[in-house]
Structure 1
């Protein structure tokens, strides 16, 4: 149906509805009160996720205190760290906006994203180890590769920050955002590759059991959640880099910030922590092996 086919009254109603939507969007974005409210809601949500991760970490430690920093413990600790940092950032978001030089603001806003990448890359590493061990393939190179990849990502990002600090050219800010979009895409593909491989391997496993079904669902859900999370982050970072209306680093876009961080960090973290809520087996019932 074309615009000409619309009844004039219907057209007027649609125009008023669109106008009201734009007015509401502008009201929320331009109002300092609503900016603070939205950022404080984000801070509260991050705080809840951080506390949940910490509580789960404590429960795991109480269950198997004789083991050191297993993959499960590190994962929950990093979740606590990332979400706690985000909570503080949004509590003091207005103060952070006043920081000089500008690169300090970029570093504070972007560093948790790097740690978030490391946190969930740890899951990819864990699944890759399980997959290759099940196929009797050596996993000796996986952990050094994990540390090398993370090291390269951090070094490149820090170099970009230093260059921007030395010579704040807008194209370098765009390059920094595009770089992180690429990192997010790689993370999404990593989940798709190793999560998908592990899922298919478990699906083909000949022995049917309750544990196998639960692990199959766990891997399937986490793979789907994390793939979608990092893919959305990649797309949003590209928009953020090239479209001023999608800029996430300014106070005047609180609604966009809320949608972005809810979709790419808060919701995925909450869902993954829920899916991976199972504690290690109790001592004396089943031997628990630390992942080294």
Structure 2
């Protein structure tokens, strides 16, 4: 079975009587992995609360990772100089995207919460998951020049990166050999997810499950189960609003915003740090 679908109603907050839909995009080859256990825990807990949960198991689906002209049904506009973003935008508008992309976009459109569950590969995503993002988050559907970042098309959706590492937490610290995990996650959380407008929740990081005792793995899964109980009610991470930047001057931070933060200890975000200390706000909310 390529996609797991569990259906019922879910009521997450007093101000909403709409059923909540969850999409888990899962990227691991083994059903016996810690990532599989984390995915299964999310399905179990969220289903028990009455949510509609869909799982896109990318390896089981044999999801194509490469972005190619084959993602478009019919002829492309400019075969001599194929430009993926522009061609897929046109194909999306004309209903000519390949069936696998259309299906994943359908799931994403329905989702109130998206969980990406994966092992961190080379400080980033497995190729199959990066391919999902490359192919599914097409221009026009997921973003435009006018609708991105805090004004993005997915501003009503929440998202969380849930992943395992091969390295211990100490190695991903500000003085660790791998460097600050805040910095590692910036391209993913800001450059992909926030860029499309998602409300990005604090990441769920399972530190080196292959290196710690079974009891520690069990404790990490229990902490995840506890967090899942109120995941959709969590406050998102803080990112600098798009209107803080001057579009007429290359989207540079406006002088009045810089002046306001001139005497602050930390920069605005991991990326827009103003030459100050990197803030911890891209790891946990409310900091």
After TM superposition, is the score higher than 0.5? no
The structure where helix makes up a greater share of residues is 1
Normalised-by-shorter TM-score class? under 0.3
Q: Please say which structure displays the higher CA radius of gyration.
A: 1
Which structure shows the higher strand fraction? 2
